[in-house]
Amino acid sequence: MFIEVDATAKEPLYGQIRDQIVAGIATGELTVGMQLPSVRALAADLGINLHTVNKAYAVLRDEGYVRMKGRSGAFIAEADDGDRRARALSAAEEELFAAALAYRANGGTRGQFLEAAAAQAARAFGTVSTAVAQKSDKARCAPSPSSAPMERSAIANAHS
């Protein structure tokens, strides 16, 4: 799996890292017990400040996606650790509610929102692994001049 960050994107870099790791867990590219790169190594690979990577890992830890094992580093956590699943589902429902409000505030109808939400659900549950695989294949190729602001780093398939 490759982690990519885009310094020109509106989303903070730590959020980009967090979202890609969560997507890797969802698609099975990152499995329980897999060690993530050290904060320093990932920051160096991506050409960003190590505090940015540290913040991404802290958010992932707080959300229960990773477990920190002292100096050994960060590892993908069990899906059923504590009440992570309940917290994550509750947070996702709150985000979905906020998205529905934003959609409505911008003139969208309930039907349009449900259609858009269904399309995104199909994308997440049906073809995400294909999309992630295609993105990973692209990341393995040499970067094009148009992708200059993008930086990437591989997450090895090493287990603890």
How is the chain split into domains, by residue range? 2-154
* Burial of residue 62, with CB atoms counted within 10 A of its CB: 0-12 exposed, 13-18 middle, 19 or more buried: exposed
Q: Report the distance separating Cα 72 and Cα 68, nearest Å.
A: 8
As given in the structure block, the two tokens for residue 83 are: 């009440």
Ranges of residues in the chain whose predicted pLDDT is under 70: 80-82, 84, 127-150, 156-160
Cβ neighbours of residue 12 closer than 8 Å, sequence gap 6 or more: 52
The pLDDT value recorded for residue 149 is 59
8 Å CB contact between 20 and 3: yes
Looking at the DSSP bridge assignments, the partners of residue 5 are: 151
The pLDDT value recorded for residue 11 is 96
Cβ neighbours of residue 96 closer than 8 Å, sequence gap 6 or more: 117
pTM score, whole prediction: 0.70
The amino acid sitting at 22 is: V
Q: Report the distance separating Cα 21 and Cα 74, nearest Å.
A: 12
Radius of gyration of the chain from Cα atoms? 17
The pLDDT value recorded for residue 160 is 42
Class for the domain spanning 2-154 = mainly alpha
Cβ neighbours of residue 21 closer than 8 Å, sequence gap 6 or more: 3, 30, 36, 56, 60, 65, 66, 155
The pLDDT value recorded for residue 78 is 87
Residue 75 three-state SS: strand
The pLDDT value recorded for residue 49 is 96
